[in-house]
């Protein structure tokens, strides 16, 4: 089986898993317990917090709050800070951002403003800025688009937004960027969401990086864990495994990126251009290649690929329950319904091999030509 749906989730890092195992089998205590065994886990959580945070931010200016997933981090940021006037986001956001925006709009809490995308999947910065005014309380722009692979220059966008209105709280969904792009948060970014399972961690572990000076109203109340910012007994094993998996990823981040960029380009060059058109930009993340088999149905190709041992996506796995047939992000980039219907997303991990790339291209060509023939 060739697995190329790593933007949906990646295989957990086994080395990290083994290293963290003792937090299930031996040190399984509640970190809030008052005896030594429990209390000792607080320093393990502190180490994990610091290791994960220092990879992308200055620890004197930022802190990290553990959450249950990227979705919770996004929701926490939005429900905590998009509380008055208008809030601005982009048409490319994952539903973990777009759905809370719709909810707050429906509740009458905010006026929701959506900036359009360019053809390559990046937000149109000039149009985004035109939506920001003195009544804007919150802006959220994703770092790497999970459907198109496009990279938004969030440090620059945050700088321009703050230039227009310095009171704006700026959030970015960094779920597809963390551990995959060389990047550090600038002083203009206030909140940044990450998720463990996109880089070899476990599902159900995430974090919200926040500027220390920002007072975060808690979204989940209870026992006061995470210094009152997010209650609930910490998933010590999941957090430690996340820490160790991230150590592995960040150590080889640049080399991995270059290798995967080469693979992505090779795969693209092997594809039959009579069937496939590339949608994702050349300067996007090396981890995602989005294609369209225009005139064919992506979902059918997905199943045909599966039968041949290749696992791919047609876009966000989280959108698979959506009522609309067409990939909304591809439509938002200005493509027509036929192109959107033929969308396929191939996403790689550091485990992806060149041989798999060649085999994947051969499978895609075979099934694409086959379906095209049958549709003719």
**Chain contacts with ligand PLP (rule: CB under 6 A):** 69-71, 74, 94, 96, 142, 146, 173, 175-176, 195, 197, 206, 316, 318
6 versus 275: smaller Cβ distance to ligand PLP:
6
Q: Which residue is nearest to ligand PLP (CB)?
A: 70
268: annotated active-site residue: no
Nearest distance in Å: CB 194, ligand PLP? 9
Tally Cβ neighbours within 10 Å of residue 18. 11
- Please say which residue, 176 or 290, places its beta carbon nearer to ligand PLP: 176
**By C-beta, is 229 or 345 nearer to ligand PLP?**
345
Coil, helix or strand for 269? helix
CB closer to ligand PLP out of 95 and 277: 95
**Residue showing tokens 């496939």:** 276
Check 13, 69, 268, 318 and give the catalytic one.
318
Q: 169 in helix, strand or coil? A: strand
User: Residue 225 or 347: which CB sits closer to ligand PLP?
Assistant: 347
Tokens, residue 58 = 């200055």
> What are the two backbone dihedrals, phi and then psi, of residue 314, each rounded to the nearest 5 degrees?
-110, 10
Report in angstroms how near the CB of residue 76 gets to ligand PLP at its nearest.
12
- Nearest approach in angstroms of CB 242 to ligand PLP is 11
CB 62 within 8 A of CB 209: yes
Smallest separation (angstroms) from ligand PLP to the CB of 290: 13
Backbone angles phi, psi at 310, to 5 degrees: -115, 120
Whether 7 and 313 have beta carbons less than 8 Å apart is answered as yes
Distance in Å, CB of 343 to ligand PLP, minimum: 15
Three-state DSSP at 278 gives strand
Q: Are 214 and 41 in contact (CB under 8 A)?
A: no
Distance from C-alpha of 182 to C-alpha of 28, rounded to nearest angstrom: 34
- Contact between 216 and 169 under an 8 Å Cβ cutoff? The reply is no
Which residues are catalytic, by number?
318
């Amino acid at each position: 089986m060739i697995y190329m749906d790593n933007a949906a989730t990646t295989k957990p890092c086994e080395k990290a898993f083994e290293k963290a195992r003792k937090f299930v089998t031996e040190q399984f205590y509640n970190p809030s317990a008052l005896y030594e065994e429990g209390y000792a886990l607080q320093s393990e959580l502190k180490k994990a917090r610091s290791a994960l945070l220092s990879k992308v931010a200055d620890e004197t200016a930022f802190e990290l709050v553990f959450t249950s997933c990227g979705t919770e981090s996004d929701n926490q940021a939005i429900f905590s800070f998009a509380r008055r006037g208008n809030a601005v986001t982009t048409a490319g956001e994952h539903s973990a951002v777009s759905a809370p925006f719709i909810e707050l709009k429906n509740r009458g809490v905010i006026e929701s403003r959506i900036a359009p995308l360019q053809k390559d999947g990046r937000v149109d910065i000039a149009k985004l800025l035109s939506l920001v005014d003195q009544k804007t309380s919150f802006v959220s722009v994703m770092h790497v688009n999970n459907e198109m692979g496009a990279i938004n220059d969030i440090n620059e966008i945050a700088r321009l937004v703050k230039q227009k209105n310095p009171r704006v709280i700026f959030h970015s969904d960094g779920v597809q960027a963390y551990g995959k792009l060389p990047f550090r948060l600038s002083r203009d970014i206030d909140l940044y969401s990450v998720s463990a399972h996109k880089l070899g961690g476990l599902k159900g572990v995430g974090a919200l990086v926040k500027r220390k000076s920002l007072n975060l109203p808690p979204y989940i109340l209870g026992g006061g864990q995470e210094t009152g910012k997010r209650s609930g007994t910490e998933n010590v094993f999941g957090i430690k495994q996340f820490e160790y998996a991230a150590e592995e990823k960040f150590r080889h981040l640049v080399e991995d990126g270059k290798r995967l960029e080469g693979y992505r380009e090779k795969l693209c060059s092997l594809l039959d251009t009579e069937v496939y058109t590339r949608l994702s930009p050349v300067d996007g993340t090396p981890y995602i290649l989005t294609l369209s088999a225009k005139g064919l149905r992506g979902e059918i190709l997905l199943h045909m690929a599966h039968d041949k041992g290749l696992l791919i996506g047609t876009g966000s796995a989280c959108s698979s329950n959506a009522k609309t047939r067409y990939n909304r992000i591809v439509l938002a980039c200005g493509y027509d319904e036929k192109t959107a219907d033929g969308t396929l997303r191939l996403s790689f991990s550091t485990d992806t091999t060149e041989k798999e790339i060649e085999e994947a291209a051969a499978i895609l060509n075979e099934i694409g030509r086959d379906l095209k023939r049958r549709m003719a």
